[in-house]
Structure 1
Amino acid sequence: MPKRRAAPNDDSDGYPSSSAKRARTEEGSDDEVEDVPPTQTQNRTRVRRAGKGKQRAIDVDVDADLDLDGEEEDVDDEEQEQELQRVRQGRRSTGNTTTQGSEGEEEEEDEQFEAKNGDKIRAKLESKRHVQGGVAEYGIIEYIEMHQFMCHKYLTFHFGPQINFIIGHNGSGKSAALSALTVALGGKANSTGRGSGIKSFIREGQSVSEVTVHLKNQGEEAYKPSEYGKTIVITRRFTKEGGSSWKIKSKDGKVISTKKEELAAICDHMNIQVDNPMNVLTQDSARQFLSASHPQDKYKFFLRGTQLSQLSDEYDTCLENITQTAKVLAQKKEALPDLRIRHAEASARYQEAAKAREQKQKLDDLKKELAWSHVKKKEDEMTSKIGEVAKASRRLPKIEESIKDAQKALDVAEEQVTAYEAEFHALGSMDHLTDERTRLQSELRGNKVKLGEYTADLKTMDASIKATNRQINELEEKIAEEARKMAVHTQARHEQVQLKLEELRGEVGAAEERHRQLMLEKKSLAVEADTAKSSGVQLEPRISELKQKITECDNMVSQARKNEADALMPYGKNIKEVVKRIKGMKWHGDVPIGPLGVYVKAREPEKWGEVLRVQLGNYLTAFAVTDARDREGVRRVLGELGNTGILIIIFEKDMFDYKSGEPPENYLTVLRALEISDPYVLRILINQARIEQQILANTRKEAQQALMSLGRGGTAWSADGFSVRVFKEGGVASSPLNMRGLSGAMKLLLTGRDTASEIRHYNTQKEQHLRELAGVQQEYDGFKQVYSEKRKAIDRVGGEEQRANGEVRTAKSKLHSLQQEANDDLPAGMAGYEAAKEETEEEKNNIKAQFKDVMARKNEVDEVQKELQTTLNVVKEKIANFQQKKNDAQTRTENSVEVRLKAQNNKRHYETKLAEEKQKVAAIEEVAAVLQEEFQNWTAKAAEYCERVENPRPQAEVQRLYESVQAALKEREKRHGASVEEMAKEVNKTREQLESADKALKHMAQLNKALKASLITRLGKWQEFRRHIALRCKLVFAFHLSQRGYYGKVLFNHDAQTLMLRVQTDDQTLTQGSKDKDPRSLSGGEKSFSTICLLLSLWESIGCPLRCLDEFDVFMDAVNRRISMKMMIDTANSSDKKQYILITPQDMTNIHLGPTVRVLRMSDPERGNGTLPFGSAAG
């Protein structure tokens, strides 16, 4: 641990003790070394100019100025040395210095000092007897914890803030507390008396040990309270291998530092000195102190405890350094004569070069004229260049006039483009016509299917009529044949056959009726199937549209997620790489700006975002350049990365005022609806899109009203999707905006939403579309199911119809066979054939009725088809006409855009030409400015060098004369071996060396003298400290002895470096009178009591807040121990902000304990069995 001096004791009542930082006087003032200013040396002599035409002069006689006043300084040094010896003779360090004074003289001085200060100290001590000392706010031990330390496996102590007694039998491990405290706070292991090294403290059989100490850290003087808090926790861990480490933590366990330097700083701040034997008196030190030690040992103990010996050693070191410095200065002083000689020789050589100096003066005059001839030449160059600037500037007004004419033409072209665009937008969309055409074509296809079915039915009926006609002819023939046969057959057979025929005819009629009913049911089902199919077909466009919207939402979500990684994705393909390349390239003008939309935000994106995105989309993705030559470079970068249609704008960085073009504040314009962060982007959009004049309104009607109220015409966009234009001459035109103009990632522009909001927005839209699709799909599936069911029913009824038709044919076949059989057996009766004929004719009539009904329905469908076809032709014609008008309007718009482009190119041409001319003027002005600056600088430098030379000769002529004189001068210098400048430099160099050495010696001599004077003062203060501490020790010792009824004193012999005690007990007063008794003749208890009194008196002289004492009462009897304990407790109670830790093997039963005392009782350790228990009680 580093050495530390004792800090001032708070109990000293204004009397000084040794200090680690400064020496304090009795009044508390600081005796500090004052800086002694060095004697000012003469100013360094310089080679100076004596004026035009005069030679230079230099002072070389410096011997008188550089006198070091050696004799006077030697006298001062001798007086100072005598004073130092006198002061040192009155000081006794730790054993090196002898004295020439007698012991009697010292005793006389001590008696005078005691007479002067004794009463004051006694009064202070008496006033403290019944005063309760305060509790220290920092620097005392709150808690100590030991792991595997000495004989303890685990042991803890919670200490009180003032007095603590650790009691226990011998061998219980009480002394481990002081050893642990010393080790934890960085003390030396051998100072504990319990081991030679740190590893000897590790418990037997263990490899590592740890000690933790909690230091109180409160109050205004706390150490780094913001970091450590109210308690500083210091943990030291050490191993058998000799390794050791610290952890210095705050109260909550946070490690603040692991460096020993931080621990040293904490101990210095709190004035804790664990290596000071007076602060931590271990068992061995206590026994040595309490035993009959030699007076010289007690004196050394006194000096070490009060740290006067350390302060004395440091003063001796300072004196050695001062002495060594004085020797070095004496050696350096011997070099001054040689420096004086060198300076004198250099000055002599310089004076011998007088003729050369005259020639040098002439050279200087030519040099001055040469300087002003250069200035004159530069002035002529400047005048010529200023004329060029004026000539070039006269061309600028003509170009500016051409720009104004080009701007007028551009304005006219802009109005035409705006008008044609309005006309184009006014045509609207033909989506409703295409939808109508699709609907008509769908209905035509449905009716065509019906007509096909009707035609098939008519063909079937026609075949049936032809079959019935043939059957009727056959029946008529058979009737005639039957009439011939009737004469042959009998009447009975005829009746039987007729009955059978009637039965078969009935079966035929029933079969035919069933067949007819099935045909009608089949036609009804076909109508219902067609209706369901037509309804389903009408829903298919809506389903496709919803599916497309869902896919679009998925794409937008994907684009939004990509946009999260690449914020420039909505502006085109690989725009991030485009911007990176543009920044890394060299350009003729400024670095191109873009995309412009990066600097643009909508103030109300929910309301105006879509309209502004559609109308300004091309400008938001555009790039802008300040030089027309850079346009091709930007276009090439865009094209290489897949962006061929992005607009590139040429602009000029002109911060023009656009307020005059804005409408009143109560009108919302595009500019006012946007928030544009870059002023140049704002003006680009003003020039290109006229955003300061473009009105925004909620509806088409409000837009028209706003424009008409302005009275100057213009255009407006409405939130419901219309572009409205009011012409100056009167008239209004409006057209729907193409709200489907942008797709993909560009829909993310001007939404005002972040990525997460965009994803939520499109997911919400997707859910809405999915719900609507589910409803439409359900309806479509219903129609589809109905159509499927009807088709199945048609197929089923068709099968039944075929079976019924078969039954009809079967019944007719049976009837025909019976008639044939009747014809074969007997001639059929006339009535039977007549009946069959009637039935056949009736069937024929029924088929004709059905034929007529189907024909009527077919005619109806034909009429509908004709009307639908007529309507479809009209719609197709409208679509063709609309497309023609659209193409014509687009052609006019493109032509006007081409005219505008030419006007823009013309304007750009003149602007580029103006910029080039301005660059030329600027370049010439820059050259003129440089020439003017050079002229001014050269003039200033020439004026600084010398006075102005009027009308100097030409520079070339002066240069020739200068070189001629310079050559002659060099020839002279060659003869002298050095130039005039070199000789002047040599004179100055030798003088500077002489002055520097002189100044350095004087400064160091004065500094050394000041240090010696400071040391003399400090040595005097050291002696005064020793007297104060000794006197205080004497008085406090006598005061404590009086508590036992004894009388005694402390005898200090600073010459012999001894400290002796003289004690007279109460029995000696009766038997031996006033004769003092040597402590060695005292009993063990009396000797221990006397030594305790001495220790308490010495404690009054140190400032450490911690006092530790081990087994102080080992030789005391009960009476002396009781009085000693009471005296120590009283002393501790009256001590301000001090903590006492006292260790004793004795019991405390007969000792009165107050509220400030804490007793920690320890039981005998069960060695090898773990933790040692102890009890604690507040007395």
Structure 2
Amino acid sequence: MAKRRAASISSDDDPSTPEGSQVSKRARMEGDGEVNATTSKTRRAPKDKGKGKARRQEETEDNENEDEDEDEDLDQASPDEDEEKKFEEEHEEEIREKLMNKGKTQGGVAEMGIIESLEMHQFMCHKYLTFTFGPQINFIIGHNGSGKSAVLSALTVALGGKATSTGRGSGLKSFIREGQHAAEVTVVLKNLGDEAYRPKEYGKSIVITRKFTKEGSSSYKIKSKDGRVISTKREELSAICDHMNIQVDNPMNILTQDAARQFLSASQPADKYKFFLRGTQLSQLSEEYQTCLENIGQTQKVMKRKSESIPELEEQLEEAKARLEEAKKAREQRHKIDELKKEMAWAHVAAKEAELKKQCEEVAKLKHRIPKVQQDVDKHDAAFIQATREVEAFEMDLTELGDRENLDAEKNALQAHMKENRTKISKYKADEKQMSENLSRIRTTIADLEERIQKEEARANTQGKRDETARRLEEAHIAYGEAERRLESITAEKTQKQAEQQEVHRKGNKMNEDRETLRQRMNDCQGQLARCAERERNKLAPFGNQMDQVLQDIQRTQWFGNKPVGPLGMYVNVKDPQQWAALFRVTLGSLMSAFAITDPRDRATLHNLLGRYRNNPQIIISEVDLFDYSRGEPPPEIPTMLRALDVSEEYVLRILVNNAHIENTVIAPTRRELDNILSQIGRGTGFSADLYRVQRFEGGGSSSPLNQLRRDDARHQLFTGDSPDAARIRWQGELDNANRQVEALNRDLQQERQKYDALGREIKSLSDQEVRTNQELRSLKTARDALQEEANEAMPVEIQAFKDAIAEANDERESIISQFKAIERSRAELDTIQRSLQTELDSKKAKIRDFEGRREDITKRAQDVAQRRINAQHDKAHYLKKLEEEKRKVADAEAVADNLAEEFKNWTVKAEQYCGSERFPNPRPVEEVQRMLEGVQAALREREKRQGASVDDLSNEVNKRQAALELSKKEYKNMVVLVKALKKSLRSRLAKWHEFRRYIALRCKVYFQYHLSNRGYYGKVLFDHPRGTLTLKVQTDDQTLTQNNREKDPRSLSGGEKSFSTICLLLSLWESIGCPIRCLDEFDVFMDAVNRRISMKMMIDTANASDCKQYVLITPQDMTNVQFGNTVRVHRMSDPERGQGVLSF
């Protein structure tokens, strides 16, 4: 059998293609049925248009009859039973002779398409395994569980076969070794000889590596002999297998033990027949022929439709020629259309003249409105001038009032002088106190000296008593010094502990303050969460009670003007809520709940409607006037309320401009920045994000804080900038964060309290020690002083020295008394000065309060007038703009009038050019002429419609019909020739297909009988091609004596007999396929020793006799009793490792 294209390699994810029974016959019969059915349909009888047409119809029928005859020939391509028997008689002996001669020759080694080596990494149970295969016969042996079958699975996976065809897993992931992430299989194919695949790129071998992972990814690397990656595409692998005739998914090339047992014992004859067709690739060839037959049938359907359309095309050509003749008669009707068109031209001129007259009247009407608008401009200009004069007067009053700085400077100077005097008085009092203490000390000294003089005069003492007293005094000095040092140490330690306790107390106070701040923050967050919950239930909650119901009532109510618009906050958003939301809540919050109406008569109705739901918002009356407010805006770099807002409704935007002046109200982050901006502009009003209102006018300015909102104010829900759910999450997060911080502070406070209490206990202990030490020190001092006094009494003293000391003390006392009187006089003088300064200070404060009151009054009045001036200025700008708009409207109307005049002139000229210099007298209205023109044109179109088209169109149609007819005839003839050639080719191919099938089936029968005879068995293969069945009959050597030569069904054979029969059938079928690789897994598992020995020898002999074929045979049995030649290579697998787990399939 000639080598042909192998079946395409399917992926592991592709479903297997089902095989039908008796594929070739089905293809032939079903295809022929389609063809016959197509040609046997009843044709539509064309109209009799003459002899020529009848002749053409007869020619078409003759062609179709010829097709039917060819279909019958095609149907006879299938041979009958007699031919089959004749074929077997002619060729059976020839096949047997070839079989006998083949056993006497040695087969050659294949130059390409066989496996040189196989390598597995983390594949199934193998961490790493490699094989180097022999070119002809390879046996893989080993105990059960050693991973022999993994070799065939790896070979199938590496060559692109489906995982399911291995019988070892449902997908590639199941082949990955337990606990590993990926597996890799590499197969090396021989690539020598004249028919090598791209030898320049790949060299003598082609290395194919496939890697796959647990995630399901799979990749190929197809490399040359030297390791260069030539391709990574699956198509390249398919081309290699196609070129080398490797059929990896062909069940006859790689057959597992389970598949063989199922095939032989459990499958039905029809299944065996399908297996035979699929293994020999006859089914694939039959399916391709079936496709060819179906395409021929479709082509014949097209041919029939084409043949039926030719008479119709001829008829349409005749009809087109008839319509062309009739269309030439319609030209006369166009003359009347030309006359009506001339009248239409002058009718348009008359209409344009009337339009020009109407536009001139509109221009006059618009010009009449300009004086009224000018009066409004003058009125508001006068109001602006009057307000400016009043502002200037107030500014002059402020100038005359003067500046407070002088008063403040005088007040500060008085306060500084008084402070200095108070300092001096305090010093004088301290000096007086010190002097009083010194006088007391001197008096005590004098009294003591006088008493000692008396004692000295009366005292008499001995030397021994003085020595004893001196010793005791020295001991008292030492004890006192030690007590003093101990007291100093205790005092220092106590001072340190007190400082530490004070620091702990300070930290505790700070933590308490932080905790209170956080608790307040938690309360705020809870309040915000409550508001968020309210917003989730009702997004209109910030604007009032039951606002959704209010809006529904507004929709149902009849109004004099437009329906009220509101709440205005529905249309307003802040671009940067983080920075400006708090400011806009205070300044614009009340306006956000307001409603706007266009008719004053609707105010009472809307007020009652809102009051019904306990709402009392502001109601604004404003017409829908989308005026231009850009002239009132400051330069673009100046931030304003308008530039920080996003207003979705233009009408609402104008309301905010009129009522809140958002277009020129400046905003800034801080009061200082706002003041700088207004100073730069020179005038204006603004608000700062830190909630201050600042005004700047000529000659001065003012600033005042804004009233902050109460915590329960609903305006807190405005301008939040996020959804209620997002806000709730944000506030809940802040609440949780604050709660965690409070808990942490509580823990820290507890630790600080414990530290504070411990320090307190230490300080108390030190204080007790200090008290005891002080008591001890006083006792020691008393004892020491008594001993010192006793020593002094025992010591002889000059009485004159005591008298001199008394005299010095008296002199010092007189000096102190003199100084005390001088200080007392100075303090009295300062007291008098202080009273005078206090009176002057009170006067200055009264003047400052009076100044502030007058300035505040003037400033307030000036602000009111300034606001009135700003309003007047805005009104003036508004009416100036309106005046410009009116003038623009007049200019536009005049331009329209000029255009109409120009058009009237041009249309008149064009009408004269179209109709001639003579004007059409009294043309009818355009609509009337248009109706008449359309009527005549419709009549002409109806005539042309009956004709099919205009004269030119009909002439073109005749030419097209003629060309279409000729093209259809040409295509039909070409298709007839093509179908005949296709049928002839297919008939030849079907004959060869049947010949292939007969020859392959006959070879299978002969070889099956031959192989069975090696064991002394007899059997045959029964092919029933019409029914699509394959039946095996086997008679063993013991049946000849016991069962009267009755043949056995394979399912009744023993395990060894069944396995031997399997080998015989496979060897027979292998002779019919062209793939260079044959693989068989555990073929002898159920064989006894005799069957196994015979089967092994038979397989080795067959493999040695096969030319350019490679065999891979797997068995768990020992091969010691089998003799091998140099063509056989045995690969022994190691014993399985225990404790590896179970394969995941």
TM-score interval (norm. to shorter): 0.3 to 0.5
Normalised to the residue count of structure 2, the TM-score between the two structures is: 0.43
The TM-score with structure 1 as length reference comes to 0.42
